[in-house]
Amino acid sequence: MAIILASSFNSSKRDKKGVRYPVAIPNTNSFVTNLKKYISNFRLAVFVANNPDTHETTDFYGNGIFKSLEMTGLVFEKTIILDGRNAQKAKRIIEKAGLVILAGGRIRCQLDFFDQIGLRELIKNHKGLVWGASAGAMNLCERVFNFPEEKDEVDDREGEQFFEKGLGFHNEILIPHFDAENETYAGGENLGFDLMKEIIMPLSFGREFVAFDDSSYILLDNDRKYYFGKFHRIADEKITERKPLVSKRG
Percent of the chain with pLDDT over 90: 81
What CATH number belongs to 2-248? 3.40.50.880
pLDDT at 250 over 70: no
Average pLDDT over residues 38-46: 97
* Edge-to-edge strand list for the sheet holding 238-242: 173-175, 208-212, 231-235, 238-242
pLDDT at 100 over 50: yes
Per-residue model confidence (pLDDT) at position 225: 93
Q: Are 23 and 13 in contact (CB under 8 A)?
A: yes
Query: How would residue 11 be classed by pLDDT, with cut points 50, 70 and 90?
Result: very high
DSSP 81-135: EESTTTGGGHHHHHHT-SEEEE--S-HHHHHHHHHHHTHHHHHHT-SSEEEEETH
Of 147, 83, 85, nearest to 119 by C-alpha is 83
CA dist., res. 233 & res. 239, Å (int): 6
Query: How would residue 49 be classed by pLDDT, with cut points 50, 70 and 90?
Result: very high
Q: What are the boundaries of each domain within the chain?
A: 2-248
